Structure 1
Amino acid sequence: MHTISLGDGLQTSALGFGAMAVTHVYGGADDHAALGVLNAAVDTGVTFIDTADVYGEPEPGTTGPAGTNEKLVARLLADRRDEVTLATKFGITGLGGTEGAKATRGDADYVRASCDASLRRLGTDVIDLWYLHRRDPDVPVAETVAAMAEMVGAGKVRHLGLSEVTASELREAHAVHPIAAVQSEWSVWSRDVETNVVPACAELGVGFVPYSPLGRGFLTGTLTRDQVAADRRGSTARIGDNWDANQRVLAVVADVASRLGVTNAQAVLAWLHAAGERAGVATAPIPGTRSPHRLAENAAAVDVVLDADAIAALDSIADLVAGGRNIAADPAWISAGRE
């Protein structure tokens, strides 16, 4: 697989792997199977591995970020660190819903402690791309990024990223330290970032890492209602409440994929690469899967070229979507709720 350059000189594979997929969020996998998928990703050339300190079930008797997904990724890194571009995140405390507890923190003390904790769990001495997972509304983003930059100066982090930030927040942060990438939801059915955030990335030379590029699996056409009812997707507005209404979205994707002789996933991933090119932004989507077979299919998407009719059809999907993309009750949880 070819590599791309995001921002700040960061080189990654053109497709990444969202390791959250092998946690409990979407059904999960046992550690042996999950590690097998991670190794299969690297074998396939998908060497940009994305995790976060909050992914995974908290260990008994602990509070705060679970860290269990980072510990799983550590088992991959133990043998293959030199092959992996490692991304992780901090800032979501894991205490959301706990009375009196902050859902996010971005104060300097928390920044430093989170970096050291992730390094310990990952069993490595440096993080290639370290994101602020969600900003702390009580701390200026510039202050948080200044503390993150200290970790770069200390040699603990190579590049900085931000997740679900607005265009103004990105500019404020970038003025403090170069930002390599913004990670937010972006796909054929989640396009709000194209209004302000993506243009700001193009302006500043910042790469974009789309999460949930396959619509949490819905756009693949392989999910069943029973599957999503058993995990968090069943409680989302688009997949849970509007399963029937959004079958019209799926029909458009399936029609394009069938005509081109590719899978649904390949079609929508190819659309994202084309959308990035149109916007002048390097993109590295991070679909997740628990199947090595699906991994290989997704990796092949980087070589799929869409014709003008396919792009036009997929562009039309945004007008058909029922339900918003925010999976949290707080509108400010995603960038669109703060712009």
Structure 2
Amino acid sequence: MIDRLQVARYRVRAQQLDRERGDLADTAVLDLGAQETGPDGALWALAVRGVEAPADADLVWLWTLRGAPHAYRRSEAAEVAATVAPWSEADAAKRIFDASKPLKAAGIPVLEALDALAGQMRAIVTGPMAKGEVSGRLHEVMPEPYQRFCRSCDAVHLYEMPFRLAAMRAGLELRPHTSPPVLEPAPGLEAADAFPDRLDPVRAYLHLCGPATVKEVAEYVDSPVKEVKAHWPEDAVEVDVAGERRWILAADEEALRGADASGTRLLGPYDLFLQARDRGTLVDDPALAKRLWPVLGRPGAVLVDGAIAGLWRPRKSGKRFTVAVEPLRTWKPAELKRVEAEAERLAAFRGVALAGLDAAP
């Protein structure tokens, strides 16, 4: 039987969170995409894996799984487009949530709708264009089943998920570090005919966030369980994790059973390590889980030797930058020193000086 800490330590190694130096080519999380949410998003996820200041030209930002923005290797953009495309009509309907209902009522297949949207977006976005302007132009040309009344905006506009999923089909990328998002054409962003196995989202999840169940993979990809089962790798093997049946790639089983990890990291709120769908594996206290994964305003996590040992939040007032940390247990002096070093790394990443570490008792 494999315990929770062993699983967490395996993921630390698989996701290279114990690595001091690395480059984009061998950074495994880019196979699944590094989520770009908040100031400590994709680039910070790469930094804590030893990748320092990659050039924007080497990365491409796309709306992909769950409609979230992710960073990938630009050289693999076409292969990524193929891997994250819906597998079927049912899969596409699941990924766009309630937007599928009016399309179904109008007799419009979801895949056909995404292609229609992509065609219009391709014609509209010929250079950098803010999302709001793109949405306004689409509102003028798309029929009623594609649109909804938005209470927060007090306006009628495109459903959000079809908009996001159609952008990549239109060959559009996100200009990095823009808010609101700016879209622009990405040369060569047509889905490839084939792609490496490591980019397959099911395999990538099992490798990076395994061992896992079919349901957990389906939740991450936002696909029906039936679809994920149909794309389940033949070389996935069953293992027992604290009495629960889970699966991992056969090539990773030995690493899982012998997993060990050391090191300290300040993980961003949407780091892949915290995105695994089996949150109970990382945190077995429901009250703590609610604090680590609230609906809004997630903190980061302090990772120490494979276990979540604290929460952290950045604090910036004028030119003063501090990192507020909340230990979940008593930290040894050496552990606190390593946390301070990681806070210094975060400050350098943000281009500011660290004024101090604000540690709760």
Alignment TM-score, normalising by the size of structure 1: 0.27
Q: Which has the larger radius of gyration?
A: 2
Instruction: Give the structure with the larger strand fraction.
Output: 2
